[in-house]
Amino acid sequence: MSKLKDGLTYPPIKAGFILLFIAFVLSLGASYNVLREETWTGIWKPGNYTLGEEMENSVDIVSRTLKISSDNASVKIATEDSENTYTLSGDTKILHLTSRVSILVEIGEVTYSYTVKWVDYPYTYLSLPAFFIMIVGSVLAIRGYFSFLESLKEEKLQQKKGGE
């Protein structure tokens, strides 16, 4: 058992394990995620509109919600899956969408609120140093292990020579 304790306290092995632990902590930090939300509001007049083009290409969307209301309007909403026409006359429609949406306002003005929720990883930049520290720690621990085995071998040879 004392050989194991000696091995773990052998300086190169100890330094390698410390670096591996630091890499592990950094990788945990890099995998931390936060739920983000952004809402766009406004008024549409007759015409074509597309929502969320620039932001939705770069993130993983969790949910999209479109809330539309008007006193008198006709709206055609097209997603990748379907195309629906809504006639709004003083009411509000709340739509839970699964893909990017294109809107065609045919008649009237429509007040809208578009909310997008996505998962953000604010500390992903920690993954690159964690990777390099893991490589260095692994190499150091393995080289330290072989060096420790060599020192044990030399110790045994010294004991044999001393015992003769």
Rounded distance between C-alpha atoms, residue 18 and residue 16, angstroms: 5
pLDDT tens column, 106-145: 988 999 999 999 998 899 999 999 999 999 999 999 999 8
Rounded distance between C-alpha atoms, residue 30 and residue 122, angstroms: 8
| pLDDT at site 149 | 85
Q: Residues of the chain with pLDDT > 90: what percent? A: 46
Q: Where does 8-160 show beta strands of DSSP type E?
A: 34-44, 47-50, 60-70, 73-78, 83-88, 91-97, 102-107, 110-120
Nearest to 60 by CA among 124, 140, 9: 124
Q: Does residue 84 carry a pLDDT above 90?
A: no
DSSP β-bridge partners for residue 60: 119
Q: Burial code of 119-140, b = ≥16 C-beta within 10 A, e = fewer?
A: eeeeeeebeeebeebbeebeeb
Cut 0.75: pTM above it: no
Residues 137, 20 contacting (CB under 8 angstroms): yes
Q: Does residue 146 carry a pLDDT above 60?
A: yes
